Amino acid sequence: MPADVEVSVTEDVKAIIDKIITKYGLENIIDIKYEVGSQAGDGPRDYINEYSILTQGDCWCNNMMFKYPAEGPKYPTDIMLIDWQLLRQASPVFDISYFFYTIASEDALNNLDDYLRIYHEELSKRITRSW
């Protein structure tokens, strides 16, 4: 996460926690709030390696624009990811797991192995090592 975004996210987290503490009288948890905020951007850095790609960071249907054929909206013919404010270098697993586990139906999850195979085949065609 870029430093300026991390600072912004950390400040936002602190402000939200302050409001919750005040609203619900939770002053006894005040010691943990800054620890939580200071760790806001730590996770993905641990996963940067030669197979890392640029990930969108918030990969779900509300951050996608779908193009449908003029003759009727049965299936989209193209999809574009939007809202790149959480852009980061990380494993492709971050976006694909976020996508599946936030919007997939039970039927889709039951066929997860098939979708992961297709995803792997298509991703492998498009990425190369960064070194």
Q: Which of 113, 112, 28, 102 is nearest to 61 (CA)?
A: 102
Cβ count near 59 (within 10 Å): 20
User: Which pTM value belongs to this model?
Assistant: 0.55
Q: To which residue do tokens 């790609």 refer?
A: 53
> Is residue 106's pLDDT more than 60?
yes
Alpha helices in 25-103 (DSSP H): 30-38, 92-103
Q: What is the mean pLDDT of residues 53-82?
A: 88
Average per-residue pLDDT for the chain: 77
pLDDT surpassing 50 at residue 37:
no
The pLDDT of residue 3 is: 67
Comparing CA positions, the residue from 131, 42, 46, 53 lying closest to residue 91 is 53
Q: Which residue has the higher pLDDT, 68 or 27?
A: 68
What backbone torsions phi and psi does residue 84 show, to the nearest 5 degrees?
Answer: -95, 25
Rounded distance, CA 111 to CA 119, Å? 13
The pLDDT of residue 125 is 82
What pairing do the DSSP bridges indicate for beta strands 53-55 and 88-90? antiparallel
Q: Which of 6-10, 29-33, 36-40, 101-105 has the highest mean pLDDT?
A: 101-105
The whole-number average pLDDT for the span 3-18 is 75
Type and span of the H or E element at 55 = strand 53-55
Run of H or E including 80: strand 78-81
Q: Which of 25-29, 38-42, 55-59 has the lowest mean pLDDT?
A: 38-42
